[in-house]
Amino acid sequence: MDFLGFWRFVTAAAHYRTAAQECRFGGGFPRPADTNLSFRTWSPTGSLTLFRANERFPDRVHRQQGKVKQKVAVVDLQQSLTLHQRFLEGRPGGRRLELKSHDLRAERLIAADMRNALLSGVNLEDAVLRQSILDGSDLFGANLARADMEAASLKSADLRGVNLAGCNLRQARLDRADIRQGQLVVWVGKVQQKVIQVADLSGANLSDASLTGTDLSGADLRNVNLAGANLSGAQLFAANLSGADLRGASFVEAKLKGAILDNTQVAGADFARADLRDARLRNVPPGAANFKAAYTDGAVFSADHGKLAPEVREAITEHQRWIVSNGREGLRMVLLRPDLSGADLTGCDLSGAEITYGRFDKANLRGSVWRMAKLTGSSFRGAELRDAMFDGANLANADLREASLLDTQFGLVTLRDADGKTTGREWPADLRGANMAAADARGANLRGARLEGANFADGNFAAADLRGAALDSRSAAMPELRRARI
């Protein structure tokens, strides 16, 4: 290559740099993750560097000898919006709005027309965007926490990995928007790292919003307000909607396979023909909403508590509110010697409850959750506890004779501090002195549990996991544990 040809190549590479960033996976124009498209750029050291189109350029390629590309400190938003309007209308002098990674926190952009804008990574925290139009815009990885976007339009927008926690999206339109998790490619020095970023809408207000056909797969929708929202045909595979307000919402033909809807309010909601296979709906009875023609194979529902004593029903309702609000509302269930023999508590979440010396003989507790509950001295004789979860629970001196404990969880709970960070400590389930004679505990998880003084006589513990469990010498020598994993 002669010098002129070489210079043309270097100049073209500089122009390709921007195109490569826009074509990266998660950017304005998504490409398949396994694309072979690549661009070359000339580094200050004189070496030729190859980047795939779905990768970000490291900071070092933005540097030239003695010169560093500076971030624009002040953006004339009004002028930029005017030029963007010209661009949308196809008029001369127009320019697409591009504010990638800019800090626009608390900005007021009421009724702004930002269709097809390039806003990936922008910080719009606490911004006011009421009635703004962002249809088709690239907001990949943007921060919209606590933004006011009432009646805004985000149809077909790229919202992968976006932070919408606490955002007001009442009456907003998000039809066909992509709110899946996104993949960021970042550079730390010379090391490339891929970061999976899940769309966070926890606590957002989406009441009366339109989300038909929207892809929310894997999204964090905990405690979100979706009352009256339209999610017909929406993709919610493995999404977490625990504690959400879904009253009057439409999920007709929505895809909710593997989704978590524990402790949701579903009065008046329509799940007709929705795919709820393997979904979790603990504390949600099947009769609470319209599930006509819905696919519910493998789904876990809560039983109807209509046959329980009024005081017990009230206690369960208040405890549900206590769980959803993280203790700010409702009342923790505290019962002494309640008789719930034969009760149907299928799929009921009573994590953290304190029920001492309770009677659950012959009760149906399949799929129920009792994480960190205090159940000392309680009787579960002959009860159905298959797939129930007792991680970190206190079952000291409990009577579990002849109980069905198939695949029941008595595992460890990871302890966290006030900020939600792990402390490195784990809390075990306590079954010291428990009577598990003749119990069917095949496949049960008792890893790390305290089992000193427990009775395993005539029980079936084949394939049960007792690794790391605390066993006294007498219990460890019992023949019933020979087929268990110790």
pLDDT mean values, one per 10 residues, the chain (486 residues): 51 45 37 34 31 34 31 65 94 93 92 95 94 95 93 93 90 90 52 59 90 89 93 93 94 96 93 95 88 92 85 91 88 95 93 96 95 97 96 97 97 88 92 97 96 95 96 89 92
CA distance 406 to 439: 9
pLDDT score, position 333: 96
Listed residue (378, 296, 295, 384) closest to 348, CA to CA: 384
User: 84: part of which helix (H) or strand (E)?
Assistant: helix 77-89
Which residues are 379's β-sheet partners?
359, 399
Q: In sequence order, what DSSP letters do the residues of 394-431 get, joined into one string? A: B-TT-B-TT-B-TT-B---EEEE-TTS-EEEEEE--B-
pLDDT score, position 43: 32
Listed residue (314, 295, 278) closest to 387, CA to CA: 278
Q: Which residues contact 325 (CB under 8 A, 6 or more apart)?
A: none
CA distance 264 to 271: 13
129 conformational bin, left if phi > 0, alpha if psi -120 to 50, beta if neither: alpha
First vs last Cα of the chain: how many Å apart? 69
Handedness of CA 306, 308, 311, 313 (dihedral sign): negative
**Cα–Cα–Cα angle for 476, 354, 329, nearest 5°?**
140
Is 213 in contact with 236 (CB distance < 8 Å)?
no
Listed residue (211, 202, 137) closest to 172, CA to CA: 211
CA distance 265 to 188: 44
Dihedral of the alpha carbons of 466, 351, 284, 439, in degrees to the nearest 10: 30
Match 């490619």 to its residue by tokens.
Answer: 185
- Structure token pair of residue 185: 């490619």
pTM score above 0.85: no
Q: Which residues in 261-300 are b (16+ Cβ under 10 Å) and which e? A: bbbbbbeebbbbbbbbbbbbbbbbbeebbbbeebbbeebb
